[in-house]
A = this chain, B = another copy of it.
Amino acid sequence: MPKKNSAPLAIGELSHQTGVKITTIRFYETIRLLPEPPRTTAGRRTYGAVHLRRLNFIRHARDLGFAVDTIRELLALSDAPDQSCAWVDAIARQHLEEVEDKITRLSLLRSELGRMVKACSHGRVGDCRILDTLADHTRCASDHGAVRD
Contact = CB atoms under 8 A, between A and B. Distances in A.
Interface of A: 53, 56-57, 60-65, 74, 77-78, 80-86, 88-89, 92-93, 95-96, 99-100, 102-103, 106-107, 109-110, 112-114, 116-117, 120, 122-128, 130-131, 134-137, 144-149
A122 B81 CA distance: 13
A59 to B, nearest CB: 8
Question: For the complex, would chain A's binding face be called helix, strand, loop or mixed by DSSP majority?
Answer: helix
A81 B135 contact: no
Given A113-B96, A134-B60, A120 B89 contact: yes
Given A84-B124, A125-B80, A117 B92 contact: yes
